Structure 1
Amino acid sequence: MSYEPENRTKQTLAEQVAEQILNDIVDKDLEVGAKIPNEFELAEKIGVGRGTIREAVKILVSREILTIRRGAGTFVSERQGLLDDPLGLCLLKDKTHLALDLLSIRLMLEPEISALAAANARPEQLKELGKLRDQVEELINRGEDHTHADILFHRQIAACSGNLVMEKLIPVIHSSITLFVDLTNARLKQETIDTHREITDCIVRKDPEGARCAMYMHLTVNRRLIKSLEGN
């Protein structure tokens, strides 16, 4: 069976195949040191060329999810993707539970980050935040994947906060945005547009309490939908 690439922007075929290989590792509960199928077997199973498999494996090696041992094969890395996923979240199997836990952490942090952003954002940061909000809206309205733009929007809020630690920490937990979009098939499109507008408007107006409440509402609605999917 040939591999049909997903309709995701900013992903090459090799990147999509890398995600499929990663999903197989998770679904099969492969442990550290487990050997994965060879290049020929993967190409036949997924339905792509061996060159694409090589590129996909290189991606996973660069992310420290896989490691290549010359003459032996390709294995699940001991570092488990710590390069761009320092908590190893991509290898946790229960994605619904993971999304809920990540949203719980975000509820602890992001309302306060939004309040700080309203107090501390510089004019050029506000301009960039507005651009990212508009980009998310445009992608949603065109029916295109808005995940990457959504992540950048939330990261910009962290940058606006002026807190150097939060600016570095927030990207670690924002994998929940990708998980949320995948799990819900982006059902809350209008809610995303409306709450992003409200969050941005409050930050621009220098309204910390309004920004705090708007972000809390945004995340709470998301969590409610994820919660409804438990057990499905």
Structure 2
Amino acid sequence: MTMVRRESLAEQAAELLLARIRDGEWEVGEKLPGETKLAPQLGVGRSTAREAIRTLAGRGILTTRQGAGVFVTAADIPESWDEILQRADIVAVLEARTAIEVEAAALAAERRTSVELKKIRGALDERERHRTHLDEHVETDMAFHRSIVAAAHSPILLDLFDSFAPRSRQAMIEMLRHRSHHGGNTDHSIHERVYQAIASRDIEAAAALARAHLHALRELLS
């Protein structure tokens, strides 16, 4: 029987238990043995086994159901959101932006205040002033789109946008470098039209224009 080392005993027990789950000893949805049986298998006492279970529960591997026992909920530690985003390719990034920003544009057209509309206008003007320098262009473009999401008054959409922003920024820089040009009149025009739709409270036009803009970016990759 494999025994754990004395140092960091609960953590070592958790790693051993995780290795056995990875090896398929217990499938997802299956119940673990009780602490009385599990602790000797790990070479530790019941209190250490209990701590190891808590450790893996905190990592999303196990869950404790009151009165039923401990069950396997995942075969490995789930990837963090940052890890998933870093692996995403540019097309996946644009698809996610579409899911967030089309709905945000529609909600902004419906819910924006006059103060928020001024912020969107200011962000658009700032974007126009930074057409030529790539990094500044991307930064001001992101700021413009964020101002729209903020005006949607949807905290979840804004949190999604902010958590997605570093990977989105990276993807846009990669794509625009590949194109070797950016910030043309056509590109600025569609952003202006998105703003005008939001200013006019035209919900359908705001959503359609946001979708058309992101679709056009995808087409540039083909």
Is this a same-fold pair by TM over 0.5?
yes
Corresponding residue number in structure 2 for 1:203: 198
Shift of 1:141: 5.0
Contact 1:150 1:177 in 2 (8 A): no
Matches within 5 A, 1:39-58: none
Cα deviation for residue 178 of structure 1 reads 3.2
Pick aligned residue for 1:189 from 178, 183, 197: 183
TM-score by length of 1: 0.55
Q: Which amino acid aligns with 2:193?
A: E
1:216 paired residue number: 211
| TM-score normalized with structure 2 length | 0.57
Once the two structures are superposed, residues 28-68 of structure 1 have per-residue CA deviations (whole angstroms, 9 ceiling, x without a partner) of xxxxxxxxxxxxxxxxxxxxxxxxxxxxxxxxxxxxxxxxx
Compute the displacement of 1:143 (Å). 7.0
* Residue 90 of structure 1: how far off its partner (Å): 6.3
CA, structure 1 residues 178+196, in 2 after alignment: closer, same or farther (shift >3 Å)?
A: farther
Pair 101,219 (structure 1): closer, same or farther in 2 beyond 3 Å? same
- Aligned CA-pair RMSD: 2.4
Question: Is the 8 Å Cα contact of residues 108 and 198 (structure 2) preserved in structure 1?
Answer: yes
Structure 1 residue identity aligned to 2:220:
L
Give the direction of change, closer, same or farther, for the CA distance of 1:169–1:107 in structure 2 (3 Å limit). same
Is residue 169 from structure 1 mapped to residue 163 from structure 2 by the alignment? no
In structure 1, the gaps of 5 or more residues are 1-79
1:99 and 2:85 matched: no
Report the residue type matching 2:117 in the other structure.
L
Which amino acid letter does the alignment assign opposite residue 164 of structure 1?
A: P
Q: How many residues are aligned here? A: 142
What is the 5 A alignment of 1:13-52?
A: none
Residue identity in the other structure for 1:179: A
1:178 partnered with 2:170? yes
Once residues 86 and 135 of structure 2 are traced to their aligned partners in structure 1, the CA distance between those partners, rounded to angstroms, is: 27
Q: Structure 1 residues 153 and 202 mapped into 2: Cα distance closer, same or farther (>3 Å)?
A: same
Q: Please list every run of at least 4 consecutive aligned residues from structure 1 whose deviation after the TM superposition is greater than 4 angstroms.
A: 141-144
CA 1:116–1:167 in 2, change beyond 3 Å: closer, same or farther? same
Q: Deviations over 1:119-174 (max 9, x none)?
A: 00011111011000011111005777311111111111111001111111112223
Q: Which has the larger radius of gyration?
A: 2
Q: Structure 1 CA distance, aligned partners of 2:84 and 2:147?
A: 22
- In the alignment, the residues of structure 1 paired with residue 142 and residue 123 of structure 2 have an alpha-carbon distance, to the nearest angstrom, of 10
Aligned residues: percent identity? Answer: 22
TM-superposition CA deviations, 1:192-230 (whole Å, max 9, x none): 31111111111011111110011011100111112x2xx
Whether contact under 8 Å (1:121, 1:160) holds in the other structure is yes
Find the aligned partners of 1:221 and 1:148 in 2 and give their Cα distance.
Answer: 20
Q: What residue number does 2:82 align with?
A: 87
Residues 145, 182 of structure 1: CA spacing in aligned structure 2 closer, same or farther, 3 A cutoff?
A: farther
Aligned 8 A contact 1:147 1:178 in 2 = no
